């Protein structure tokens, strides 16, 4: 199935060609690949971002405002087939080719991954992602894959993916989320990224993406390392305080989730007060 959806031969050639660029990228290893999917596949995925309104979960708190579908059953057939192909062994081997990391595997739970949609006024503050899986304390998260589905996207709509340096003092990269562009980057304690500016796209337009995360098995139990949000130098004192408060709430939620089995649907109920 993955071969019928992904052009694996082309992607394997791209992987061999772009590995040096991935390894040497600033401020951490990453690569952007345009025309990532066969055009007919990419176009079939776009329409389903406007369907199934009841399936979208709300991630609305101070540090982010977006919608997500993080389970295959809630997705349309084209998105479901694409996600399954991106989790296949054949594609994971391509991710290993690009990154130089061995023993990678996809997350069958799609924890935090899947379809993401941000409406006008939405945003995602600068952050590093969780480094150990919330449900498996020996899974080390190593790689993020993002694919964008935004035909006609305008850069002035303020949705660029930003990469910042390890001290969150300087922006190193700004990548427009244009249609059929993918971004693959190594996940670490310094991989600060986000799109922190409120989207100004027109009503009826959204910033659409699919996100997948890839892990390695650790030989020892990993400490919980949940999403960590950071302010940028231009943020006001009040915004810095609110970012910190919300980050504390996310950490508390993550601890309760690992120890007590809380579900994602509780996130909006808890964090909407922050």
Rounded Cα distance between 123 and 224, Å, is 25
Of residues 94 and 258, more confidently modeled: 94
pLDDT tens readout for residues 217-257: 998 888 777 789 999 999 999 999 999 998 888 777 766 66
Which pLDDT score, from 0 to 100, does residue 54 have? Answer: 73
The count of domains in the chain is 1
In this predicted structure, the answer to whether residue 118 has a pLDDT above a threshold of 90 is: yes
Tokens of 82: 């694409």
* Domain span holding position 110: 2-271
The answer to whether the beta carbons of residues 122 and 59 sit under 8 Å apart is no
In this predicted structure, the answer to whether residue 270 has a pLDDT above a threshold of 60 is: no
Reported for 173-177, long-range contacts at CB under 8 A and 24+ positions apart, including other chains, are 173/26, 173/27, 173/30, 175/32, 177/148, 177/150, 177/153, 177/207, 177/209
Q: Is the pTM of this model over 0.85?
A: yes
pLDDT tens readout for residues 41-51: 999 999 999 87
* Average pLDDT of the segment spanning 103-116: 94
| Residue 164: φ, ψ to 5° | -120, 160
Rounded Cα distance between 15 and 44, Å, is 25
Instruction: Report the CATH number that the domain containing residue 194 is assigned in CATH.
Output: 2.60.120.620
pLDDT tens readout for residues 62-103: 999 999 999 999 999 999 999 999 999 999 999 999 999 999
Q: CB atoms < 10 A from the CB of 254, how many?
A: 19
| Cis status, amide bond into 27, omega within 30 of 0 | yes
pLDDT tens readout for residues 180-208: 999 999 999 999 999 999 999 999 999 99
Which range among 114-128, 151-165, 176-190, 214-228 shows the weakest confidence by mean pLDDT? 214-228
Cα–Cα distances in angstroms (integers) from residue 88 to residues 3, 14, 139, 147, 237, in the given order = 10, 18, 18, 16, 45
Cα–Cα distances in angstroms (integers) from residue 111 to residues 1, 94, 130, in the given order = 23, 22, 10
In this predicted structure, the answer to whether residue 274 has a pLDDT above a threshold of 50 is: no
Contacts of 88 (CB under 8 A, 6+ apart): 1, 2, 106
Nearest-CA neighbor of 130 among 117, 139, 116, 141?
Answer: 141
């Amino acid at each position: 199935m993955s071969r019928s959806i992904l052009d694996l031969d082309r992607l394997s050639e791209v992987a061999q060609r772009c590995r040096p660029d991935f390894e040497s990228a600033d401020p951490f290893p990453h690569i952007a690949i345009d025309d990532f999917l066969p055009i007919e596949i990419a176009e079939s995925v776009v329409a389903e971002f406007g369907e199934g309104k009841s399936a979208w979960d709300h991630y609305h708190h101070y540090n982010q405002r977006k919608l997500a579908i993080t389970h295959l059953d809630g997705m349309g057939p084209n998105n479901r087939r694409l996600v399954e192909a991106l989790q296949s062994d054949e594609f994971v081997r391509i991710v290993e080719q690009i990154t130089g990391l061995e023993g990678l595997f996809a997350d069958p739970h799609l924890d935090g991954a899947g379809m993401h949609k941000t409406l006008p006024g939405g945003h995602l503050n600068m952050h590093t992602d969780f480094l150990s899986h919330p449900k498996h304390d020996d899974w080390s998260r190593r790689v993020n894959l993002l694919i964008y589905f935004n035909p006609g996207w305008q850069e002035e709509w303020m949705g660029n993916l930003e990469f910042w340096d390890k001290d969150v003092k300087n922006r190193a990269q700004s990548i427009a989320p244009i249609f059929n562009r993918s971004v693959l980057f190594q996940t670490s304690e310094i991989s600060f990224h986000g799109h922190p500016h409120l989207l100004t796209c027109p009503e009826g337009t959204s910033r659409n993406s699919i996100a997948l995360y890839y892990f390695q098995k650790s030989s020892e139990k990993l400490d919980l390392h949940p999403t960590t949000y950071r302010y940028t130098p231009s943020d006001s004192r009040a915004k810095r305080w609110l970012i910190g408060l919300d980050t504390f709430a996310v950490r508390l939620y993550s601890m309760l989730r690992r120890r007590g089995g809380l579900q994602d649907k509780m996130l909006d109920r808890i964090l909407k007060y922050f």
